[in-house]
Amino acid sequence: MAKRMRRTTLGFWALAALSGVVSAAVFLAAAELTALLVAREGSPILAVGGFVIDIVPQPFKEFAIATFGEYDKIALLAGLGLAVLFASAIAGILQFVKPPLGVVALGIAGALSVAAIVTRAGATPLASVPPIVGALAGGFILWYLSARLRGWAAASTDATPMEQPTVHPKGAASPASVDRRAFFRITGIAGASALIVGVGARALINATASSIVAVRKALKLPAPASKVTVPAGAELDVPGISPLITPNADFYRVDTALTVPSVDPDAWRLVIDGMVDKRVELSFADLIAMGLDEYAITLTCVSNEVGGELLGNAIWLGVPVREVLKLAGPTADADMVLSRSVDGFTAGTPLESLTDDGLDAILAVGMNGEPLPLEHGFPVRMVVPGLYGYVSATKWLSELKVTTFAADEAYWTPRGYSAKAPIKFSSRLDTPRTGEAIPAGRTPVAGVAWAQTVGIDRVEVSIDDGEWQSATLSSPINDDTWVQWFVDWEATVGTHYVAVRAVNKNGDLQIEERAPIAPDGSTGWQRTLIRVT
């Protein structure tokens, strides 16, 4: 009897957890539908996800990028989904065991969602409505289902949840049967409705992004006034080496946007204000009319570890930032430009890096012969040679605020990163790859090296701690791009260590000592274990 009672109790608890999960689904579905109708930035799951990205400690951020790479956003959403599933199940049990704690918990979730949404950049006054509507709908469903479940439990002290309903002699169903039928009927209807409404609403919201895809596809950018000249010998014919120009589909992506912003070029505006002689506002057409040129520039992420893949080389189409800033006239006491994305991200760039006539800092509208891909900042982003992306490469650009480092902080500065972050020049081994056995005999050891704004003078390779030998370099496009390099090696059977280092055109040797990513970029010579069979 005692075992039967325990099984009965556990059965009701499982159903209570189910009621919580269904109520959470109703919460999210009602919120998504309301967001579709009144405020598309009011999605609770995306707002909370963005809030998590904002507050996550620096070590966890680096772990996510190192572990999941460009799939870190998907991993975050999956983690949030599991957290919601667990928390909603607990809320359902609380409401069953001690009402109204479950409904209160759902209300708290709604309040936290409101707080996450209204503090996001660009939130409208109506942005708080979706989570409020969602919390009310989810709370009602949880209250109703829990009431039916409690009634069923109270009337079935001697029955398990799976037994057939007791029918009275006159044909009337027992109270337990009535409550059980109501519970399963509403659970099924609410669950199915939440799935259909939630997925449908999100699909319609995402249709906006699809429309921007069509806009981008139809956009025809003017031909550049000047084109990048790729010299002979700029690309080495070595299997396994990184291509000279990184294809857009393979270019790394690291940003704080949980979903890629959808920005219509016709509605896009860039505001230049702050410590300027006059405030300026440019449309996309205004920017294009300033004249476009091509620029070959290698970008590097501060999260790139020694030997990492968070860098790429592209030919960009754009307008010099200095020409845009001239329209507003920065004041003499300004020393920083705080660039802002439409999703609220900010980067603090030294003003001198943007106004230097010898530095090709640009507002890019094109990448490798086509308009910027959506995930790389369409319609306009910043590209600044020689600075890590977190202080310069703002995507989906919306504002340039001329200010000072003393007055303003950018997104990553209070999160443990340096306010100024010139790229530390480095080198990388592309082939042979660690863990891949190669046959004995003549084989190329090859890779890329970069020293943006300065240029690479030479690359040196050491096999098994032997003498350093100079590698053959490709012809650089310019000092802002990487170069390819290779050394022919007569590989013998066994295990070998290959080390690579670079020297820039100033005569500086690449830093040997290992340093972590934070606060201003990793250092160290790459040493790779190669197995020859």
243 domain-assigned: no
Same domain, 326 and 469: no
Q: Where are the alpha helices (DSSP H) in 156-258?
A: 175-218
Same domain, 45 and 172: yes
**CATH code, domain carrying 316:** 3.90.420.10
What lies within 8 Å, CB to CB, of 427 at 6+ separation is 447, 448, 449, 450, 459, 485, 500, 501, 502, 510, 525, 526
286, amino acid identity:
D
* Among 97, 99, 124, 129, residue whose Cα is nearest residue 114: 129
220 domain-assigned: no
Angle between helices 129-155 and 44-55 (to 10 degrees): 110
pLDDT of residue 174: 60
**How far is residue 261's CA from residue 375's CA, in Å, rounded to a whole number?**
8
Burial class from Cβ neighbours inside 10 Å (0-12, 13-18, 19+) for residue 449 reads buried
pLDDT of residue 474: 98
Query: Does the pLDDT of residue 170 top 70, yes or no?
Result: no
* Domain count within the chain: 3
What lies within 8 Å, CB to CB, of 96 at 6+ separation is 12, 13, 16, 19, 102, 146, 149, 150
- Last residue within a domain, chosen from 364, 390, 415: 415
pLDDT in tens, 393-441: 999 999 999 999 999 999 999 988 999 999 999 999 999 988 789 999 9
Contact between 228 and 295 (Cβ < 8 Å): yes
* Among 185, 141, 183, residue whose Cα is nearest residue 161: 183
What lies within 8 Å, CB to CB, of 141 at 6+ separation is 19, 22, 23, 26, 186, 190
What DSSP designation does 69 have? Answer: G
pLDDT of residue 66: 73
Same domain, 12 and 141: yes
Q: How confident is the model at residue 173 (pLDDT cuts 50, 70, 90)?
A: low
Same domain, 260 and 394: yes
208, amino acid identity:
T
492 domain-assigned: yes
Same domain, 409 and 485: no
**CATH code, domain carrying 506:** 2.60.40.650
- Percentage of the chain modeled with pLDDT above 70: 94
Backbone angles phi, psi at 325, to 5 degrees: -65, -30
The more confident residue out of 316 and 72 is 316
Contact between 466 and 473 (Cβ < 8 Å): no
Question: What's the mean pLDDT when you consider all of the chain?
Answer: 90
Q: Which domain holds residue 455?
A: 426-532
3-state helix, strand, coil in the chain (%, to 5): 40, 25, 35
- Using CA atoms, how far residue 137 sits from 23, 25, 104, 130, in Å, is 8, 10, 13, 11
Same domain, 312 and 433: no
Same domain, 265 and 351: yes
The pair of structure tokens assigned to 305 is 């570890």
Same domain, 404 and 462: no
pTM of the model: 0.82
432 domain-assigned: yes
pLDDT of residue 159: 45
312 domain-assigned: yes
**How far is residue 495's CA from residue 311's CA, in Å, rounded to a whole number?**
29
377 domain-assigned: yes
pLDDT in tens, 245-304: 999 999 999 998 888 899 999 999 999 999 999 999 999 999 999 999 999 999 999 999
Three-state DSSP string of 110-160: HHHHHHHHHCCCCCCHHHHHHHHHHHHHHHHHHHHHHHHHHHHHHHCCCCC
- Using CA atoms, how far residue 281 sits from 272, 348, 364, 400, in Å, is 6, 20, 17, 10
Same domain, 168 and 21: yes
Neighbours of 56 (CB within 10 A): 16
Same domain, 85 and 167: yes
* Among 433, 428, 459, residue whose Cα is nearest residue 530: 433
The pair of structure tokens assigned to 355 is 């106004």
Q: How confident is the model at residue 72 (pLDDT cuts 50, 70, 90)?
A: confident
Same domain, 405 and 321: yes
227 domain-assigned: no
Same domain, 270 and 336: yes
pLDDT in tens, 83-109: 899 999 999 999 999 999 999 999 999
- Last residue within a domain, chosen from 185, 212, 239: 212
The pair of structure tokens assigned to 277 is 């002689």
**How far is residue 290's CA from residue 309's CA, in Å, rounded to a whole number?**
34
| Coil/strand/helix, residue 336 | strand
- Last residue within a domain, chosen from 162, 197, 212: 212
218 domain-assigned: no
Contact between 505 and 412 (Cβ < 8 Å): no
What lies within 8 Å, CB to CB, of 138 at 6+ separation is 23, 24, 26, 27, 28, 30, 106, 110
- Percentage of the chain modeled with pLDDT above 90: 73
Query: Does the pLDDT of residue 380 top 50, yes or no?
Result: yes
Place of tokens 């949880």: 142
